[in-house]
Amino acid sequence: MDQTIVAIRSRHVLLHFGSEHRDSSDKKHRDKDKERLKLKDGSSDKQKDKHKEKKKEERVGRGLCYFYIATVLSELNPLITNALVLALCTAVLVACVGMLVYILPSLCFFIPFRWEEERYTDGVKWKFLEHKGPVFAPPYEPLPSNVKFYYDGKHMKLSPGAEEVATFFAKMLDHEYTTKDVFRKNFFKDWRKEMTSEEKSKLADLNKCDFSEMSEYFKAQSEARKAMTKEEKLKIKEENERILQEYGFCVMDNHKERIANFRIEPPGLFRGRGDHPKMGMLKRRIRPEDIIINCSKDSKHPKPPPGTKWKEVRHDNKVTWLVSWTENIQGSIKYIMLNPSSRIKGEKDWQKYEMARRLKKCVDRIRAQYREDWKSKEMRIRQRAVALYFIDKLALRAGNEKEEGETADTVGCCSLRVEHLTLHQEMDGQEYVVEFDFLGKDSIRYYNKVPVEKRVFKNLQLFMEDKEPEDDLFDRLNTSILNKHLQELMDGLTAKVFRTYNASITLQQQLNELTTSEDNVPAKILSYNRANRAVAILCNHQRAPPKTFEKSMQNLQTKIDAKKEQLADAKRELKSAKADAKVRRDEKSKKAVESKKKAVQRIEEQLMKLEVQATDREENKQIALGTSKLNYLDPRISVAWCKKLGVPIEKIYNKTQREKFAWAIDMAEKDYEF
């Protein structure tokens, strides 16, 4: 990598070159680094040139159509220049336009993907956008008078505002959340803001509030909904369908597209994940006055509900969202965007996997580089190299810095602290083992014991030297520095691309290893799920075991036992039929033997299917396959595998997934390689 370029951009290297703007902590770091690394000066020009060459190669493949053609060409000759690619693209484009204008209009129907029809430059995402705006949460319906709230054992009639917030709490009463101190404290504080001054003076202690009648009322309502007649249920379904048809679609550049989340989030109590400091806070109701509408000038603008107005109507075609508002808990912006099946999302998805495929081509070089950097004389480079090694080997997330006290205490690679690692010179017969134990995204625990290379181990010892448990492991690194470095190694490369790349390549390798064409379809699907599972484990995609897990496993075992008995019976019958046929030697008994044989075969197949199902389910107990399937695995690998092994695609992707991956289903042939 080009150390000099990165060095100039880094404040730490400015220090090395004698900048006057030194703060004391930097000086401390520098002195320490010098001491530890026995710093010597100098950077390699050769390396710089070499990197420029390599960068040139990787720059091949920018843009969309350009991107695709360049990818193909770069496979033929890795040294091909941008200019040549551009020239070729232009030629192809001119030819295509000619063909389209004069010959092919009638064949437009056969264009495989409509998102290949038109592409914009300069960040333009669309030319025309029309929609009906969002669907607001239904207004609050006050409780019937017989449903009472009690304070300190006495009935108390609440004002509508206070009552609404109280119902949010009552609805969650059975949830563990409402027992947590932080939740209760936050809730009570926000609830008091909605109370009248009289209520405020009376309701001083949440522990004296009795929401149980409210809670019972909502439970009864839920039961009543379940017990509705078919006709009533159908009526609701039809109404939902009507709303979907009216608000659930938009027109973007000549195409009707499905909107992902056209309903505004209803008010309620914020439920953060893990130990979130803001859990229990009131998520306020969103009104039309909070809403920004985005659509094209020449479209029919959505109308706000009667008597209200939008916060703003804008026409920004460099973004993909239709509606936005600012939520009150974190002050972040929420959006209404298009469904994953839309052109705009599908195209982005495709680009993501193409980027990961580009990484595949240069990952060996990048790995060699970071291994080399483990020996660097600069601490920041060593830290960067070790962090990158973790991101690559363990598929860790980048780990942006977070504002303390605003969210749950979770970390990723760059934000790991000393307390999250334990180093073992020797463990379970292996040398240089690193034990990771930290909370990652969504407060999901990452626990792993990994043997690492000696040099990594020694570096980690160095990084942890003289530090407190709560100190940053990589004190000279953050995601911005890391991604700038990655950008130097490959155009467009960021930390998250490694997760996509490693997930997809793992799936492909596992499928090749685990499946053969001789297997039957259930066995092939079991293997597919196992390959998928390997990826989910790599990416640490966990789930809470389903509440009914034990019971459902028991049921399955009962079925297996019954099937085994049935098989034993069938085998006995076959044996006696054979004996019978030996004595009689007539056609009838021969036929009987054949039919018993078939019965045994059929039951054996059924038994195998059940056993496979049990294995699959057991192995899947705490692992979520969906996340990797939807976000990390190049769908063309799965499509190609299905085509090659004769597995119906419906067995791998359900309807929604097939819609999302329509581009891949159409694009990938059986010989596709990631």
Partner DNA sequence: TAAGCGACTTAGCAGAAAACAC
Partner DNA sequence: GTGTTTTCTGCTAAGTCGCTTA
The answer to the question of residue 407 lying near DNA (CB under 7 A) is yes
User: From the list 7, 14, 182, 649, which residue makes contact with DNA (rule: CB under 7 A)?
Assistant: 14
Options 185-193, 200-208, 455-463, 551-559: segment touching DNA (CB under 7 A): 551-559
The answer to the question of residue 656 lying near DNA (CB under 7 A) is yes
The answer to the question of residue 542 lying near DNA (CB under 7 A) is yes
Q: Which is nearer to DNA, 47 or 261 (CB)?
A: 261
The answer to the question of residue 654 lying near DNA (CB under 7 A) is yes
The answer to the question of residue 10 lying near DNA (CB under 7 A) is yes
User: From the list 28, 189, 193, 237, which residue makes contact with DNA (rule: CB under 7 A)?
Assistant: 237
Q: How far is the CB of 627 from DNA (least distance, A)?
A: 4
**Interacting residues with DNA between 335 and 374 (CB under 7 A):** 335, 337, 345, 348-349, 352
Q: How far is the CB of 495 from DNA (least distance, A)?
A: 4
The answer to the question of residue 239 lying near DNA (CB under 7 A) is no
CA–CA dist 269, 171 (Å, integer): 10
Q: Which is nearer to DNA, 108 or 124 (CB)?
A: 124
Options 93-101, 156-164, 233-241, 507-515: segment touching DNA (CB under 7 A): 233-241
Taken as a whole, the chain contains a residue count of 674
Q: Which is nearer to DNA, 230 or 585 (CB)?
A: 230
Q: Which is nearer to DNA, 25 or 197 (CB)?
A: 25
Nearest 10 degrees: Cα torsion 163, 164, 170, 172: -160
CA–CA dist 353, 58 (Å, integer): 15
Q: Tokens in use for 122?
A: 């300069």
Q: How far is the CB of 656 from DNA (least distance, A)?
A: 3
- Order the strands of the 154-155 sheet from edge to edge: 154-155, 150-151, 209-210
The answer to the question of residue 223 lying near DNA (CB under 7 A) is no
Catalytic residue list contains 632: yes
Q: Which is nearer to DNA, 147 or 319 (CB)?
A: 319
CA-CA-CA-CA torsion sign (616, 617, 621, 624): positive
Residue 554: count other Cβ atoms within 10 Å of its Cβ. Answer: 11
The answer to the question of residue 62 lying near DNA (CB under 7 A) is no
Q: Which is nearer to DNA, 19 or 461 (CB)?
A: 19
**Main-chain dihedrals φ then ψ at residue 595, nearest 5 degrees:** -70, -35
Q: Which is nearer to DNA, 72 or 562 (CB)?
A: 562
CA–CA dist 640, 645 (Å, integer): 8
User: From the list 400, 448, 516, 576, which residue makes contact with DNA (rule: CB under 7 A)?
Assistant: 400
User: From the list 268, 301, 313, 361, which residue makes contact with DNA (rule: CB under 7 A)?
Assistant: 268
* Residues in Cβ contact with 474 at an 8 Å cutoff, skipping those fewer than 6 apart: 383, 384, 386, 387, 413, 414, 416, 463
The answer to the question of residue 539 lying near DNA (CB under 7 A) is yes
Beta strands in 20-169 (DSSP E): 129-130, 150-151, 154-155
**Interacting residues with DNA between 95 and 134 (CB under 7 A):** 125
User: From the list 309, 551, 572, 621, which residue makes contact with DNA (rule: CB under 7 A)?
Assistant: 551
Q: How far is the CB of 582 from DNA (least distance, A)?
A: 37
The answer to the question of residue 219 lying near DNA (CB under 7 A) is no
Q: Which is nearer to DNA, 208 or 233 (CB)?
A: 233
| Helix-strand-coil split of the chain, %, nearest 5 | 55, 10, 35
User: From the list 476, 541, 596, 636, which residue makes contact with DNA (rule: CB under 7 A)?
Assistant: 541
Q: Which is nearer to DNA, 74 or 294 (CB)?
A: 294
Tell me the H-state helices in 277-413. Answer: 343-373, 379-394
**Interacting residues with DNA between 306 and 325 (CB under 7 A):** 316, 318-321, 324
In three-state form (DSSP H/G/I as H, E/B as E, the rest C), the secondary structure along 614-656 is HHHHHHCCCECCHHHHHHCCCHHHHHHHHHHHCCCHHHCCCHH
**Interacting residues with DNA between 484 and 513 (CB under 7 A):** 487, 492, 494-497, 499-500
DSSP H/E element including 497: helix 495-514
CA–CA dist 607, 596 (Å, integer): 16
Options 179-187, 304-312, 358-366, 648-656: segment touching DNA (CB under 7 A): 648-656
3-state secondary structure of 649: helix
CA neighbours closer than 13 Å in the CB half-sphere of residue 357: 23
The answer to whether residues 283 and 327 touch, using CB atoms and an 8 Å cutoff, is yes
The answer to the question of residue 55 lying near DNA (CB under 7 A) is no
Angle at CA of residue 547, ends 541 and 551, nearest 5°: 120
3-state secondary structure of 637: helix
The answer to the question of residue 181 lying near DNA (CB under 7 A) is no
Options 72-80, 84-92, 302-310, 479-487: segment touching DNA (CB under 7 A): 479-487
User: From the list 115, 211, 249, 270, which residue makes contact with DNA (rule: CB under 7 A)?
Assistant: 270
Nearest 10 degrees: Cα torsion 547, 533, 414, 62: -130
CA–CA dist 438, 417 (Å, integer): 9
Question: b/e string for 334-355 if b means 16 or more Cβ within 10 A?
Answer: eebbbbbbbbbbbbebbebbbb
**Residues tagged active-site:** 632
